[in-house]
Amino acid sequence: MCPTSTVSLMHRSPCSTSAPLRSSQKSAAQTSANSDSLSDKFSAALAKNKEWAAKCSQEHPELLPTLAVGQHPEILWIGCSDSRCPETTILGLLPGDVFTHRNIANVIHPADLSSGAVIEFAVRHLRVKHVVICGHTKCGGVAAALGNKGLGILDPWLIPLRQLREQHLADLQSLSQDEAVVKLAELNVKEGLKALTQKSVVLEAMQERGLQVHGLIYDVGSGVLRELDAAEPEDAIKARLTSFKTDA
């Protein structure tokens, strides 16, 4: 959630003799500069796409033609929409390796049709071998849930995070802000794994073909992934199977 931005500097020509800009002129110039910066970034991205496609075809000549026929990813990645957390890049993998769903703060809402459809398709039809829920440090959505500012449409989306905050309030209040963000991000991932394994399609795949689920935290400052201990008691697993697994 909290993407960083870059601002390009505009230089006047060395031969310029114009008078200093008034306040209103500066504001208009800054607006124009920001617009040009965004336009340049997008144009550069389109140009780089052609370079990337050529390089990819050279280094992996069979990759793109193979992907044109179909996809066979082994990993479903459920992560945050944050621009600093591009899953295929940080995993060092290639296009076609990771099926992806991303949203604000990687929240799993049981009734969310978007994430539910992705999970159903990835597990039942693509038959992925691993499902990953990944949170990250410096998450804006998590930080927002630790605050009390109204955020409009984001407020109902962040309810699961606020519920976790309520349940662990004393522990979270004993930590620094940065530590609390990491702690709540970890709790959110574990809660997401619980919601994930309450889905019958996931339980079925775990039982019948050994589907594995994983919880990770990505450190945006170092680029390193850390796996969380998501082990559960046997009786908790049995209770979930009894309560949530349904017949087709």
Residue 231 has φ and ψ, to the nearest 5°, of -65, 145
Token couple for 46: 């389109």
Residue 238: per-residue pLDDT: 83
DSSP type of residue 125: I
139 is a catalytic site residue? yes
Token couple for 191: 């809660």
Distance CA 210, CA 72 (A): 17
User: Annotated binding residues, as ranges?
Assistant: 80, 82, 136, 139
Distance CA 69, CA 71 (A): 7
Residue 241 pLDDT class (50, 70, 90 cuts): confident
What's 237's domain CATH number? 3.40.1050.10
- Domain residues for 189? 73-244
Q: Residue 115: which residues within 8 A CB-CB, separation 6 or more?
A: 78, 101, 103, 108, 109
Decide: helix, strand or coil at residue 169.
helix
* pLDDT at position 116 over 80: yes
Does 5 map to a domain? Answer: no
Domain count, the chain: 1
82 is a catalytic site residue? yes
Does 103 map to a domain? Answer: yes
Q: Residue 34: which residues within 8 A CB-CB, separation 6 or more?
A: 7
Token couple for 192: 């997401």
Does 212 map to a domain? Answer: yes
Q: Are the C-beta atoms of residues 89 and 143 closer than 8 Å to each other?
A: no
Does 3 map to a domain? Answer: no
Does 234 map to a domain? Answer: yes
Decide: helix, strand or coil at residue 105.
helix
Q: Which one of the listed residues 85, 101, 134, 139 is annotated catalytic?
A: 139
Average pLDDT over the chain, rounded to whole?
88
* pLDDT at position 2 over 50: no
Token couple for 55: 């390089």
Picking from 178, 75, 98, the residue whose alpha carbon sits closest to that of residue 136 is 178
Q: Which one of the listed residues 84, 85, 101, 165 is annotated catalytic?
A: 84
Question: pTM for the whole thing?
Answer: 0.82
Q: Which residue has the higher pLDDT, 21 or 111?
A: 111
Distance CA 91, CA 87 (A): 6
Q: Which one of the listed residues 101, 136, 219, 247 is annotated catalytic?
A: 136
Does 156 map to a domain? Answer: yes
DSSP type of residue 106: G
Q: Are the C-beta atoms of residues 81 and 134 closer than 8 Å to each other?
A: no
Q: Which residue has the higher pLDDT, 246 or 49?
A: 49
Q: Which secondary structure element, helix H or strand E, spans residue 157, and what is its range?
A: helix 154-157
Q: Residue 75: which residues within 8 A CB-CB, separation 6 or more?
A: 91, 97, 98, 99, 128, 129, 130, 131, 132
Does 29 map to a domain? Answer: no
Q: Which secondary structure element, helix H or strand E, spans residue 76, and what is its range?
A: strand 75-80
Residue 30: per-residue pLDDT: 63
Residue 37: per-residue pLDDT: 58
* pLDDT at position 7 over 50: no
User: Annotated binding residues for Zn(2+), as ranges?
Assistant: 80, 82, 136, 139
Residue 199: per-residue pLDDT: 96
Does 207 map to a domain? Answer: yes
Residues 44-70 pLDDT 10s: 999 999 999 999 999 999 999 999 999
Q: Which one of the listed residues 82, 85, 101, 165 is annotated catalytic?
A: 82
80 is a catalytic site residue? yes
